[in-house]
Amino acid sequence: MSLRAIAVDESAGNLPATDRIGVADLTRELRARIASHAIPPGARLREWEVATEFEIPRLSAREALERLVHLGFVDRQPNRGIVVRRRELTEILRLFDLREVNEGLCARLAASNVSPESWRDLVELFGAPMEAIVERKDLHAYVENYEVLRHRLIEAASSPPLTDLLQWLYDMTDIFVRRVLLVSDRAYHGLRDHRTVLAALHSGDADAAERLRRRTVANIRAAVERYGSFVL
- Residues 78, 97: one domain? no
Domain that holds residue 172: 89-231
- Residues 96, 69: one domain? no
What's the pLDDT score for residue 1?
A: 43
Give the residue from 84, 107, 140 where a domain finishes. Answer: 84
Q: Yes or no: say if 74 and 65 are a contact pair by the CB < 8 Å rule.
A: yes
**Cα separation, 46 vs 62, whole angstroms:** 9
Give the residue from 25, 54, 84 where a domain finishes. Answer: 84
Question: What single letter denotes the amino acid at residue 49?
Answer: E
- For the segment 151-191, what is each residue's pLDDT rounded down to a tens digit? 999 999 999 999 999 999 999 999 999 999 999 999 999 99
- Residues 98, 188: one domain? yes
Give the residue from 84, 106, 129 where a domain finishes. Answer: 84
- Residues 24, 110: one domain? no
Pairing mode, strands 44-45 and 81-84: antiparallel
Averaged over successive runs of 10 residues, the pLDDT of the chain (232 residues) comes to 42 43 93 95 95 94 96 93 95 98 98 98 98 97 98 98 97 95 96 98 98 98 95 90
